[in-house]
Structure 1
Amino acid sequence: MYNVQVHVTYKDSVLDPQGQAVQGAVARLGFEGVDHMRIGKFFEMQVAGSDQAAVTEKVEAICDQLLANPNMEQYRYDIQSMEAE
């Protein structure tokens, strides 16, 4: 079993109005030096697989088919093996 964390964000070329709104709010609160705010989605799951390569293939398929819109979004993920308890 593997723990998987997936982060989905808009591609840099896609306008992120929510990110801009949050960045504006941060500035209005007086925080300086905060730029390029982006809003995204975070998914955490446990995935069964025979090895990390099989889990990676499954996670890629899940991201491509369900979690991210490949036209507008990009994703990255971290896969960690769970220790048997």
Structure 2
Amino acid sequence: MRAKVEVFLKPGVLDVQGKAIEGALHGLGFDDVAEVRVGKTIAFELGDEHPDRAEDRVRAMCERLLANMVIEGYRVSLEPA
């Protein structure tokens, strides 16, 4: 099973990297760009297992390591390998 985790800052948390990218895009003439947010994607393979169990395991990984639950949220997607 292939897992993909998208980690992003929670609403209300200042995204300094997003603001820097937004400013750079404006400097390049892309003035209609707004509210840029930067996140990260983590993709990995899991052993063959039931999708419900796999999702529970990936969520546990997120909450223990992959995301800082104080300031970040995450989204999990699973696909057959």
* Cα deviation code 1:9-30 (max 9, x no counterpart): 1001101111000000001000
Aligned counterparts of 1:41 and 1:27: Cα–Cα separation in 2:
23
Q: Structure 2 regions of 5+ residues with no counterpart?
A: none
Partner of 2:20: 21
TM-score when normalising by structure 1:
0.90
Q: CA RMSD in A?
A: 0.9
1: CA distance, partners of 2:49 / 2:39: 30
Does 1:52 find its partner at 2:47?
Answer: no
Matched residues, number: 81
Q: Quote the residue 1:72 is aligned against.
A: 71
Q: Distance in 2 between matches of 1:36 and 1:52?
A: 34
- Looking at structure 2, the residues matched to 70 and 10 of structure 1 have their Cα atoms a distance apart, in angstroms, of 9
Letter in 1 for 2:30: F
Q: Deviations over 1:15-60 (max 9, x none)?
A: 1111000000001000132111111111000012420001001000
TM-score by length of 2: 0.94
Equivalent in the alignment of 2:34: 35
